[in-house]
Amino acid sequence: MLNEKKKKSIYLPSHIKPIKYDLLLKPDLDAFIFTGKETIEIQIDKKYEGKLKKIIIHSKDIDIETVKIVYKKNNKNETQFSERITYNIENETATFYFKNSIPSDKCKLYIVFSGIINNSLRGFYRSQYKINGKTKYLATTQFEATDARRAFPCFDEPKHKAVFNVKLIIPGTHTAISNTLPIQIKKHKFGYKIIKFAPTPKMSTYLLAFIIGDFEWIEKKIKLSGKDVSVRIFTTKGKIHQAKFALDIAIKSIKFYNKYFDISYPLPTLDLIAIPDFESGAMENWGAVTFRETALLIDEENSSLSSRQWVAIVIAHELAHQWFGNLVTMQWWTDLWLNEGFASYMENFCINSLFPKWNVWDLNLAGRYTLALHLDSLNNSHPIEIKVNHPDEINEIFDIVSYAKGSAIIRMLAEYLGKEKFRNGLRFYLKKHSYKNTKTIDLWEAFEKISKKPVKKIMNTWTKQTGYPLVTFSNLNPNLGIMEQERFFSSRISRKENKINNKWDIPILFNNQKVLLNKKINKIYTKEKILKINKGERSFVRVKYSNDVLDGLRKQIQLGMLPTNDRLGIIRDLFALAEGGYIPTTTALDFSLFYKDETEYIVWSEIASSVNRLYNIISNEKFEENYKKYVLDLFSIITKNIIWTKKSKEKHSDVFLRKLILSQVGFYGDKNTIKKAQILFKKRNKSPIDANLRSTVYNIVSRTIDNTNSYKLWKQFHKLYLDENMHEEKERYGIALTKFKNKKILKKTLDFALSIDVRHQDAPSIIANVWQNRYGRELTWKFIQNNWNIILKYYGEGGHFLSKLLNPLRNHINKKDVISAKKFFKKNIAPGADRTLKQIYEKIYSNSAWLKDDKKIIEKWLNKNYK
């Protein structure tokens, strides 16, 4: 747990501003250390004239050898060496003390230092890979949010924008990439060369990057606003054939933004680099965007369609940041959502324009949008704009609320303002604040200026309060509807305890009418009777209908009259209302049966995740088998209509539908599907399995293997994992190892995840998958507690891994587990997972209450319908 001290403000004093950094680094890729020298030009606030004798700067895990400051006094250069250097580990700073006061003018700070090329995926770190069985290393950086300070002493806050001149001394055989292009390459001693890069634009420290390794690349020159820009994709040796798709997407996206924002991309290159070890999916360093291999590389034969789409989305996301984030940056991490929410909106907006047939907005609705609705229905969610201080707190808010809720409310605003006003507002904002920093309010003000609508007032209700509204709807008569709002909670306990009376300004669509609901109770007069509220599911709300309206909606579904998104929204909200105790669970179960003829992927995806959530609650009850019968019956018609092979003419989403349905009914025990999967697996060497179905097949096979053969199969997947070089396929084998029913085997998988054979970036998802497997639940929780020291060694430096790793604890149902977890985390720290733990506890209590309240009626319903 964070102690209160850590939560104190940790800003650097604001009277010193950096203007320019000249940075020279010499990495040693054998000893994993580096030496460095830098000159920082700083400006000191006039108020400090005659008073300034110390300088505080960010620095972490760096040895500072010497520091001197040079300035003009009486027109002469004067130099002072720092007589004492102290470090504050907690604040991640170094303080330089000087004997005489430093004049309030431009000064130059000279620092000589050394550090380590670490193994923790942040700061200046190393990544490892094999070429023909031989281990190779590359060095790379990941500075967001607060880790530039691990590579060089700096003023490591987003508001301290400066120009960076980077020079690197590297082995003659290697390539170095940074934000800009080299302007000079000179030979250096002992087979080294010295590369000098052009000055960067004025930018924040977290966007600086340098990558040194033995790379291959492909390149294409394009024109942007009449200027030459070369777009390049870099991979380690032997993988460059997987870079073509990314190059195509990068070019299309950068052209798209260049036009849409009406501001030309300021750099002469745009590099995208695949790094074998990487914490998140990708990082938007200006002009030198780094990626996980699975987020950039596509193999024409072995990559799935969802990987292709993911690669496109990630590229579009990071390239949106080149404007939104890099050119205009948040003042402080409190406004992180401006970066991430906006890029999450733009990624879909861009890909939807480039590939309209992919329907990425609909896929988003069934994906991250739904996840945001879930997370934000907990009392322990957080407002989009949130005070943060310590790096652990900062890292924690890179979550689904900042990303997906952020994106959802921007989309809601875009619909409310209309396309043109929205685009013009953005252009105005980006131009006005180029090379500067902003707060959320600056964005609202830009939209207000262009649209003349009360944007600030509306949007404050969405960014400053936690949660979102439940709109309860009933028709008083055919011409008068009542819409009432309250905060939605997925936990009936949190709902009862809630004392805050929230209200939102909700732009909402029904029939063909748009209104702004800004009262607690809203009367709506119409010419025709209202049925579906929140048409198209554009507003970030849930809706509860009165019984007669719900019955009207049922008829429309059965007559095939409701559009896809609306069908999705109705069933999604019904199951959520059941979970929150607003309606009996059996109402949702009854209603689900009207969806048996459904054909659309996104609706089925929503139904699958809803019934699976309920299955998690009841999977230890004696009526479990009846529940499985229910699910198989619900999916029976679509299962009959799905075939294992690709049809010649099918929709983009049909590929996803096939995978979803087969995985789902395979999981619930459909015999035909299981048999077919086993056959495909046996024959896979002669006839390779369609890349889109491989994980489905592997998972079914390992889940259904009998006890006597399970170790043999485990060893087979284990070997495939070790031998595989393509990351996407490797991940599939890794997940297959988590699906067994045998506990001894699952324990092997857990040990394997923490072994040297699995990259640190990949272990959390393997462990989390064993945890989600009902046969691995207790086992994994014990394993985590027993191995906490190793886990902390790997992931204890903050970041998202711990929270990802601990996430499946929220599926537990027993209140006792909260007590044991609380006890455990009182004794053991979990940096960066404070809020996650609170959410987990809230969720376990909620699960337990849901089961207690509705167990009997569910059992009765299943007995009646599925015995």
* By CB under 6 A, residue 272 contacts ligand BES: no
Distance CA(666)–CA(229), nearest Å, equals: 49
* Nearest distance from C-beta of residue 790 to ligand BES, angstroms: 23
Q: Tokens at residue 311, please?
A: 């690669």
User: Quick one: tokens of 384?
Assistant: 């989009």
Task: Choose the binding region for ligand BES from 261-269, 311-319, 405-413, 687-695 (rule: CB under 6 A).
Answer: 311-319
Using the rule CB under 6 A, give the single segment among 73-81, 150-158, 317-325, 556-564 that binds ligand BES. Answer: 317-325
Q: Which stretch binds ligand BES (CB under 6 A): 185-193, 279-287, 489-497, 839-847?
A: 279-287
Smallest separation (angstroms) from ligand BES to the CB of 159: 17
The piece of 177-185, 276-284, 426-434, 683-691 that touches ligand BES (CB under 6 A) is 276-284
Pick from 340, 393, 537, 670 the residue near ligand BES by CB under 6 A.
340
- And the tokens for 849? 């209450």
The binder of 281, among ligand BES, Zn ion, none, by C-beta within 5 to 8 A per type, is ligand BES
Q: Which stretch binds ligand BES (CB under 6 A): 339-347, 385-393, 567-575, 640-648?
A: 339-347
Q: Which is nearer to ligand BES, 284 or 606 (CB)?
A: 284
Cβ burial of 187 (10 Å; 0-12, 13-18, 19+) is exposed
Query: Which of ligand BES, Zn ion, none does residue 156 bind (CB under 5 to 8 Å by kind)?
Result: none
Select the binding partner of residue 314 from ligand BES, Zn ion, none (C-beta < 5 to 8 A, by kind).
ligand BES
Amino acid at 426: L
| Residue number, 254 or 483, with CB nearest to ligand BES | 254
**Shorter beta-carbon distance to ligand BES: residue 206 or 582:** 206
- Among left, alpha and beta (phi > 0; psi -120 to 50; other), residue 787 is alpha
Name the 3-class secondary structure at 219: strand
Shortest Cβ 340–Zn ion spacing (Å) = 5
Q: At what angle do helices 601-618 and 585-592 cross, to 10 degrees?
A: 140
Task: Give the nearer residue to ligand BES in terms of CB position, either 321 or 492.
Answer: 321
Parallel/antiparallel/unpaired status of strands 16-28 and 33-44: antiparallel
Give the containing element (helix H, strand E) for 449: helix 440-451
Query: From the CB of 343, what's the least distance to Zn ion, in Å?
Result: 4
Q: Does 318 bind ligand BES (CB under 6 A)?
A: yes
Q: Which residues pair with 553 in a beta bridge?
A: none
Query: C-beta of 317: minimal distance to ligand BES in Å?
Result: 4
CB under 6 A: which stretch of 24-32, 280-288, 298-306, 834-842 binds ligand BES?
A: 280-288
CA nearest to 484, candidates 494, 497, 471, 493: 471
Identify which of 789, 790, 792 has the alpha carbon closest to the alpha carbon of residue 831.
792
Asked if 306 is part of the footprint of ligand BES (rule: CB under 6 A), the reply reads: no
Q: Which residue has the tokens 């994994």?
A: 780
Q: Which residues contact 61 (CB under 8 A, 6 or more apart)?
A: 115, 116, 118, 123, 150
Binding mask 342-361 for ligand BES (x = CB under 6 A): -x---x--------------
Smallest distance from ligand BES to CB 835, Å: 15
- Among positions 150, 167, 317, 382, the unique one binding ligand BES when judged by CB under 6 A: 317
d(CA 774, CA 441): 46
Among residues 324 and 850, whose Cβ is nearest to ligand BES?
324
- Name the residues that contact Zn ion, by CB under 5 A: 340, 343
Smallest CA-to-CA distance from 430 within 314, 257, 222 is with 257
Binder of residue 313, out of ligand BES, Zn ion, none (CB less than 5 to 8 A by kind): ligand BES
Other C-beta atoms closer than 10 Å to the C-beta of 641 total 11
If one asks whether residue 277 binds ligand BES (CB under 6 A), the answer comes out as no
Under 8 Å between Cβ of 606 and 568: yes
Strands 210-213 and 282-283 turn out to be unpaired
Taking the least distance from each CB to ligand BES, the nearer of 340 and 842 is 340
User: What span, in angstroms and rounded, lies between the C-alpha atoms of 167 and 185?
Assistant: 10
How far is 866 from 851, CA to CA, in rounded Å?
19
Q: What are phi and psi of 244, to 5 degrees?
A: -60, -45
State how far the Cα of 836 lies from the Cα of 819, in Å rounded to an integer: 16
For Zn ion, the closer CB: 282 or 417: 282
Q: Concatenate the DSSP letters of all residues of 723-755 into one string.
A: H--SHHHHHHHHHHTT--S-HHHHHHHHHHHTS
Selected from 161, 252, 321, 703, the binder of ligand BES by CB under 6 A is 321
Q: Which of 48, 52, 50, 45 is nearest to 18 (CA)?
A: 45
Q: Which helix (H) or strand (E) holds 333?
A: none
Q: If binding is defined by CB under 6 A, does position 280 make contact with ligand BES?
A: yes
Q: Please, which residue, 104 or 285, has the CB nearer to ligand BES?
A: 285
> How near is the Cβ of 727 to ligand BES at its closest, in Å?
15
Phi, psi at 731, each rounded to 5°: -60, -40
Cα gap 391→332, rounded to integer Å: 12
Cβ 306 to ligand BES shortest distance, Å = 13
Nearer to Zn ion, 326 or 451 (CB): 326
Q: What is the C-alpha to C-alpha distance for residues 352 and 360, in angstroms, rounded to an integer?
A: 6
Which residue carries 């699975």 as its tokens? Answer: 294
Q: Of 44, 250, 314, 833, which one interacts with ligand BES (CB under 6 A)? A: 314
Which of Zn ion, ligand BES, none does residue 817 bind to, with CB < 5 to 8 Å depending on kind?
A: none
In whole angstroms, what is the distance from residue 436 CA to residue 325 CA? 10
Q: Applying CB under 6 A, does 284 fall inside the site for ligand BES?
A: yes
Residue in 145, 195, 365, 533 binding ligand BES, rule: CB under 6 A: 145
Distance between CA atoms of residues 371 and 410, nearest Å: 17
Check binding of 612 to ligand BES (CB under 6 A): no
Q: Work out how close the CB of 146 gets to ligand BES at its nearest, in angstroms, rounded to a whole number.
A: 9
For ligand BES, the binding residue among 283, 583, 631, 634 (CB under 6 A) is: 283
Kindly state the smallest distance separating residue 311's Cβ from ligand BES, in Å. Answer: 10
Sign of CA dihedral 748, 751, 754, 756: negative
Q: Which is nearer to ligand BES, 409 or 577 (CB)?
A: 409
Contact 807, 455 (CB under 8 A): no
Pairwise CA distance, residues 689 & 695, whole Å: 10
Residues classed as catalytic: 318
The candidate with the shortest Cα–Cα distance to 458, out of 470, 443, 473, 480, is: 443
Nearest to 738 by CA among 770, 692, 708: 770
Residue closer to ligand BES by CB (options 171, 764) is 764
395 to 414, contacts with ligand BES by CB under 6 A? 398, 403
Shortest Å, Cβ 283 to ligand BES:
5
Q: Cβ 588 to ligand BES, closest distance in Å?
A: 30
Span interacting with ligand BES, options 191-199, 225-233, 254-262, 277-285, rule CB under 6 A? 277-285
What's the token pair of residue 608? 């699958």
Which part of the chain contacts ligand BES (CB under 6 A), choosing from 108-116, 309-317, 490-498, 499-507?
309-317
Beta strand 163-171 with 192-197 is antiparallel
Q: Give, as one character, the DSSP assignment of residue 150.
A: G
Using rule CB under 6 A, residue 659 touches ligand BES: no
282 lies in the binding site for ligand BES (CB under 6 A): yes
Size of the site for ligand BES (CB under 6 A): 17
Chain residues binding ligand BES by CB under 6 A are 144-145, 280-284, 313-314, 317-318, 321, 340, 343, 347, 398, 403
